[in-house]
Amino acid sequence: MGTIIVLVVLGAIALFVVSIYNRIVQLENRFENAWSQIDVQLKRRTDLVPNLVETVKGYASHEKEVFEQVSTSRQAMMGAGNVAESAQAANMMTAALGRLFAVAEDYPDLKANENFRVLQEELSAVENKIAYARQFYNDAVLQYNNSIETIPGVFLANPMGKKEQVFLEIPETEREAPQVSFS
């Protein structure tokens, strides 16, 4: 009789531990998946850049400084190896593209170019998706951090080797980025 009770209690504890373990893994997968969402958009943006630069060059070839900045950020983007580097390069590119579009404002012919307009809509759509993906990522990270820093998850986090994740900052330049009208 006594053995049965002990076994039942042990079984219940084991089930409880398994459920906490699963919860942590689930939340970890969620923010990793959230990061891949951002990554997809960053790649798409990087792919759109050469086409955009070519189009703008056709009308404003002497704005070398801006092209340089965009090109540098693109190199950084493609060379980024981890989340922190990607995030930093992404912010650089956001700033550079913001300047490029600001410069484009001075060239009416460029703004009327159909190819440019499509690229502009695509790029601001990508920016928008990046913003949403980053928001979702931060939400997921918050949930994950909570799960490994509160009881009962905190007891498992160490043995599982789980560490607190950092949030993605929203760059200041992006807040000031010129709004494009689409109506």
124 touches another protein by CB under 8 A: yes
What DSSP state is assigned to residue 113?
Answer: -
128 touches another protein by CB under 8 A: yes
x-or-dash string of contact with another protein, 11-50, rule CB under 8 A: -----------------------x--x---x---------
CB of 170 to another protein, least distance (A): 9
Whose CA is closest to 117, among 54, 52, 174, 176? 52
Cα Rg of the chain, angstroms: 23
Whose CA is closest to 50, among 84, 105, 97? 97
In angstroms, rounded to a whole number, what is the distance separating the alpha carbons of residues 123 and 126?
A: 5
6-14, 104-112, 133-141, 147-155 -> range binding another protein (CB under 8 A): 133-141
183 touches another protein by CB under 8 A: yes
Q: Is the dihedral of CA 138, 141, 143, 145 positive or negative?
A: negative
Which residues lie near another protein (CB under 8 A)? 34, 37, 41, 118, 121-122, 124-125, 127-129, 131-133, 135-136, 139-140, 174-177, 179, 182-183
